[in-house]
Amino acid sequence: MMWWRELLFTAAYVGYFPIAPGTAGTVLAMAIYFFEYRLCGYFSWIVNAIVVILFAWPAMKMGDVGEAYFGKKDPPQVVLDEVLGYWISVLFWPFNWKTALIAFVLFRMFDMIKPPPIRKLEEREGGFGIMIDDYIAGIYTNLTMAIGLFIMQLMGIPVFYL
């Protein structure tokens, strides 16, 4: 009965990738974001928003299960946090490769650097501590892209999503 939970908190076993499992989880999230676009077209951003809303809380509970399964705090095999964090990074953005790649780079940067309050929140126990830092890294990524887009428009630079 535990196999399906393991499938979820390791993001289809991507968390067992031997090198940089968090980055591998983010690559999976970007691939799903792409296929979401292929299936739903322009409306994929709506599907993404629904998925984030529906899974943000249950993912925290899966983080609790993942910690219990591996017997340690924030095990690297639990990469569901990277998946949801990346999806928050691209929340409300229509798909294109430039957006997807910029979000990937920024999200990984924020996830590794952990600017305030990310590092402090990551110290929290259980699934909340596992997930919240990536959720906030996703928010920082999304806001950084929006601010960058706004500045580009002010400067008359062609925007990357058109």
The total of structural domains in the chain comes to 1
> Whole domain around residue 61: which residue ranges?
3-154
Q: Is 161 among the domain residues?
A: no
**Helix, strand, coil share (%) of the chain residues, nearest 5:** 75, 0, 25
Distance CA 55, CA 151 (A): 32
Q: What is the pLDDT of residue 156?
A: 87
Q: Do the domain assignments include residue 162? A: no
CB 81 within 8 A of CB 55: no
Phi then psi for 110, rounded to 5 degrees? Answer: -65, -35
Say what the pTM is: 0.93
Per-residue pLDDT of the chain (162 residues; tens, 9 = 90+): 689 999 999 999 999 999 999 999 999 999 999 999 999 998 999 999 999 999 999 999 999 999 999 999 999 999 999 999 999 999 999 888 999 999 999 999 999 999 999 888 888 889 999 999 999 999 999 999 999 989 988 998 877 654
The answer to whether residue 29 is domain-embedded is: yes
In a domain, 160, yes or no: no
Give a yes or no: residue 56 inside a domain. Answer: yes
Residue 42 lies in a domain: yes
